[in-house]
Structure 1
Amino acid sequence: MDERSRTRARLQSVSRALQLHDRIAAEPGLTPHQLADRTGLPEKTLWEYLRRLVEDGWVLLEDHRYYVNPEQRLTGADLRVLRDVMAALNAHDGTMSETDIIDSTGVSASRVRAALIAGVHAGLLHHLEDRYTSAGTRRALHPRIPEVLSSFTDATGHDAALATLYQGRLVLTHLHKPASHTSLLEGVTTDAAHATSVGHSLIHTLSRLQREAYFQLGGMPRFTPRTPTTLTQLELLLPPSANGIYTAEGQFDPGGACLALGLRSGAPDGRCVALTTSVYVRDLPRKRQALADDLVSAAALLAPMVGPIPLADITAGLTRMNALAPDPRA
């Protein structure tokens, strides 16, 4: 195996170890069998990564269940490397791949791995697939994101928006409205995650405990006779179609439907992101497939650009939504 292949193999190993660490952090107390189901890792590979994480002190094993070690702290060496990683992220719009981080810092892959795990564990970094984002960055979203959303609206004649969950509320940001007709998304309220496809796509990324905590904070009000008002009812609606599209019909507005597609999932801070559009229920049979195809195409363009939605954009989204429908929790 040449050096390039060895480097690629090491990076793949780091990525898998971090994904496993993130999964344990998101769902503490999983058994090896549950972790295998969640991650899709072969049993032999899973056991090797679990052994390494336990030996390195990042994960604890108790009664055949795995937990992130709450006592783990940054070492001086990790902190120095992490400082270099954060500086590199700040110089690259707040997000980089593992390969870029190693190339930019000039630090060995093993030391970068230790610093990345420490940074994710400490909440300083967010990890999704092979990309890392500074948790402290408040930069604007990628400048091309509004362009992609606008192009979707121009091509389809339908609205488009990004969405995230924040402190028990559904927040729509960067809403682009069609010139030809009313935007149904404009009327969506912050307590409607359980009654919209975009809310379903975001809730689907959460563990059962996270879902329970979210709805204890945000509630599940009934908007129409079709609104799910219990977590059990909602979970029956969560699986998307084969192409990843979530659809909700008449659950928030009797005459409205919406389609959504997840863009960023598994974020340790819960700040997952989804893309959504709306359509009248009467038009859904005729327009569903075309809108789904357009959502998939737009998502393919957006996915490499999307990190956590900056707090300033979340605040702007909440301000707009609360102005249309005052929220007692605001």
Structure 2
Amino acid sequence: MQTVLANPGRTTKQLRRLLTEGGDVMSDQTLRTHLDVLTEGGWLIRDVFRQYNPGPTVAGGEPLVRGFQTVLDHLRKAPHGLTPTELADELNINLYSAKSAIGIGIEFNVITETAAGSGRFRLDSDGMLLPVCTASDSEIDAVLAAFVASSGRDAGLFTLSQEEGLVISHVHQDPDGSSRLADTSPKAAHATAGGQAALAWLDEVQRTRYLRTHGMEQYTPKTITSMTELESVLVREPAHIYASAGQYRECCTCLAILVHNGARTDERIALTTSTHIDTPVPDMRILEAHLYRAATALSNLIDGPLRRTDPSPQ
């Protein structure tokens, strides 16, 4: 929005060049999505020459947009939310400007009330549009295939969706042609290492919302079914290997490492594998070493939310 205000009458291609020069790199599809949302809301107008100009909603012009960005930056530092009055006082702006900025954020799903009727508002990172991962599926699959070849175990990527639950992609079967990952329930994040790796790095609001939506079903006697107990295993340490032994399937231990982190729920992406629960400790240490090497390679590849792919095993 700031780029259009500063450079009216530019096409999508011209705007993309200006954004790139300013350090904002995003895919063509993500830029088009942003522009479509802004156009539908009246924030921009696209003329017959496919050039973008400020629309009727931007009554306050550039100062309003700059003020809105300042409000977003401030709300990032207030996870429990602020009232419009608190926001106005802390930023030294008038109450009308604070309320207007909050209204804009609600319209674009990046600001939400902390609880219905509370009058306090917080940043909702899940509403933000972000460029998808620039790595191709073939590049990601090459790393997973190499892991399977060296470790003799299956592999896949787990991420979370507030709407759909646990999402599995890029599943690779073990050398015998089997995988325990592909048919994992969308509601089993709390019972799997990949799900726990992603849950650990959600903020408190996101995690509470996710678990209340999808529940904590008991799959085996070892399944964690309370949020209090789950908190004890959600370790927030970079390169931490999460392990879930017999929590989803009694015969299985799954291991996982977070390979990408970000603000949105679906940006927490974990590499995961499975093995028999009776795997000897020395063999488990070897498997962890293979997993760590593959996770390092994926961390250098994955730079945004994954494109949705066919979860069927390869």
TM-score range, shorter chain: 0.5 to 0.7
Aligned partner of 1:123 in structure 2 is 128
How far apart, CA to CA, are the structure 1 residues paired with 2:78 and 2:202? 8
Aligned partner of 2:81 in structure 1 is 29
Alignment CA distance shift 1:270-1:185 (3 Å): closer
Q: CA deviation at 1:171?
A: 1.2
Aligned partner of 1:304 in structure 2 is 300
- Aligned to 1:189, which of 185, 191, 194? 185
Which amino acid letter does the alignment assign opposite residue 158 of structure 2?
Answer: A
Give the 3-state SS of the residue equivalent to 1:165 in structure 2.
strand
Equivalent residues of 1:141, 1:310 under 8 A apart: no
Give the 3-state SS of the residue equivalent to 2:174 in structure 1.
coil
Q: Deviations over 1:69-102 (max 9, x none)?
A: 52467xxxxxxxxxxxxxxxxxxxxxxxxxxxxx
What does residue range 49-128 of structure 1 map to in structure 2 within 5 Å?
Answer: 54=91, 70-71=102-103, 123-124=128-129, 126=130
Query: Which ranges in structure 1 are unaligned for 5 or more consecutive residues?
Result: 1-10, 12-16, 31-49, 62-68, 74-119, 127-132, 322-330
Alignment CA distance shift 1:182-1:273 (3 Å): same
Normalized against structure 2, the TM-score is what?
Answer: 0.59
Alignment CA distance shift 1:163-1:237 (3 Å): same
Which amino acid letter does the alignment assign opposite residue 173 of structure 1?
Answer: S
Alignment CA distance shift 1:140-1:255 (3 Å): same
Which amino acid letter does the alignment assign opposite residue 128 of structure 2?
Answer: G
Q: CA deviation at 1:122?
A: 7.5
Give the 3-state SS of the residue equivalent to 1:278 in structure 2.
strand
How far apart, CA to CA, are the structure 2 residues paired with 1:56 and 1:270? 34
Alignment CA distance shift 1:154-1:215 (3 Å): same
Q: CA deviation at 1:208?
A: 2.2
How far apart, CA to CA, are the structure 1 residues paired with 2:252 and 2:182? 12
How far apart, CA to CA, are the structure 1 residues paired with 2:262 and 2:271? 16
Aligned partner of 1:248 in structure 2 is 244
Q: Deviations over 1:298-326 (max 9, x none)?
A: 11111122121113x1xx33xx59xxxxx
Which amino acid letter does the alignment assign opposite residue 309 of structure 1?
Answer: L
Aligned partner of 1:149 in structure 2 is 144
Percent of matched pairs sharing the same residue: 30
Aligned partner of 1:110 in structure 2 is none
Equivalent residues of 1:145, 1:305 under 8 A apart: yes
Q: CA deviation at 1:272?
A: 1.9
How far apart, CA to CA, are the structure 2 residues paired with 1:303 and 1:123? 22
What does residue range 159-178 of structure 1 map to in structure 2 within 5 Å?
Answer: 159-166=154-161, 167-178=163-174
Which amino acid letter does the alignment assign opposite residue 308 of structure 1?
Answer: P
What does residue range 265-304 of structure 1 map to in structure 2 within 5 Å?
Answer: 265-268=261-264, 270-283=266-279, 285-304=281-300
- Whether 2:223 is the aligned partner of 1:227: answer yes
Q: Deviations over 1:220-264 (max 9, x none)?
A: 110111101111111111116784111111100111001101111
Which amino acid letter does the alignment assign opposite residue 193 of structure 2?
Answer: S
How far apart, CA to CA, are the structure 2 residues paired with 1:241 and 1:288? 20
Aligned partner of 1:201 in structure 2 is 197
Equivalent residues of 2:148, 2:154 under 8 A apart: yes
Which amino acid letter does the alignment assign opposite residue 29 of structure 1?
Answer: G
Equivalent residues of 1:168, 1:215 under 8 A apart: no
Task: Indicate the structure with greater helix content.
Answer: 1
Equivalent residues of 1:177, 1:183 under 8 A apart: yes
Larger Cα-atom Rg: 2
Equivalent residues of 1:198, 1:274 under 8 A apart: yes
Equivalent residues of 1:197, 1:247 under 8 A apart: yes
Q: CA deviation at 1:270?
A: 3.6
Give the 3-state SS of the residue equivalent to 1:143 in structure 2.
helix
Give the 3-state SS of the residue equivalent to 1:275 in structure 2.
strand
Q: Deviations over 1:170-216 (max 9, x none)?
A: 11101001123632223421111000010000111112222221122
Query: Which ranges in structure 2 are unaligned for 5 or more consecutive residues?
Result: 1-22, 24-68, 106-124
Q: CA deviation at 1:219?
A: 1.4
Tell me the C-alpha RMSD between the 2 structures. Answer: 3.8
How far apart, CA to CA, are the structure 1 residues paired with 2:92 and 2:203? 26
Give the 3-state SS of the residue equivalent to 2:243 in structure 1.
strand
Equivalent residues of 2:126, 2:263 under 8 A apart: no
Alignment CA distance shift 1:294-1:168 (3 Å): same
Normalized against structure 1, the TM-score is what?
Answer: 0.56
How far apart, CA to CA, are the structure 1 residues paired with 2:221 and 2:184? 17
How far apart, CA to CA, are the structure 2 residues paired with 1:242 and 1:273? 13
Equivalent residues of 1:26, 1:207 under 8 A apart: no
